[in-house]
Amino acid sequence: MTSKTNNKPNNKIEPLPIREILQTLEQEYPQTETDLHYSNPFELLLAVILSAQTTDKQVNKITQKLFPKIKGPHDILNMGALRLENEIKKCGLYRRKSRHIMETSRLLCDKFGGVVPQTRKELMTLPGVGRKTANVVLSTGFGLPAFAVDTHVRRVSRRLGLSRGKNDLAVEKDVCRLVPKELWRATHRRLISHGRKFCRARNPLCKSCPLNPFCPSAGKITA
């Protein structure tokens, strides 16, 4: 009697080494505080709005001069659009950002009593505030569970196999399913740091990357 050999392909998907990935990220990037300088949720909100297409270092230079002149949204409204533009003119897209900050400040005063709201839905009613900005304010400013996705987070998450999502919301949902809620903020910051240091958009440093043993994309990225 001859035995039959099972030639069916093995379609079993190996479990993602999420624990090892998170531990390696923690070892590599123990500091998880934002690089933006702020002292209250309103300042953080302004800093995040200003940070679009502008480095955190440049934003900090701008806010170092701006923040001592304001205590809240009322002061922005009293400052006026032209003066605000002059304060932030070294920031990319400063005219658009000035308009958003003025409109946001007005809405905060009219609808929220001059206080930054603590829900994503309410934050996203503010001009210039999308889901990423809202999540940063929630997690960093208020310590609430939220996971923000930017270009670095999206790129690194997809390369590591944490997500196959084709948009930021899909990536956010995928990563949040894998990562414990209490680690969302820290993981967000660590993925950004990793994207800047090793997992660059072009010419990533795969050979020296500490996540190389767990990365399905290691050595396969050509651009």
Which of the residues are catalytic? 132, 150
The Cα–Cα gap between 135 and 145 comes to 8
Query: Could you tell me the two tokens for 15?
Result: 């479990």
Give the distance from CA 46 to its chain's centroid: 15
The Cα–Cα gap between 3 and 62 comes to 76
* Cβ burial 91-104 (10 Å sphere, 16+ → b, else e): beebeebbbbbbeb
In the block, tokens 């993602």 appear at: 16
Is 120 within 8 Å of 146 (Cβ atoms)?
Answer: yes
Q: Long-range contacts of range 218-222, CB-CB < 8 Å, 24 or more positions apart? A: 221/159
Is 92 within 8 Å of 53 (Cβ atoms)?
Answer: yes
Comparing C-alpha atoms, which of 168, 171, 181, 185 is closest to residue 132? 168
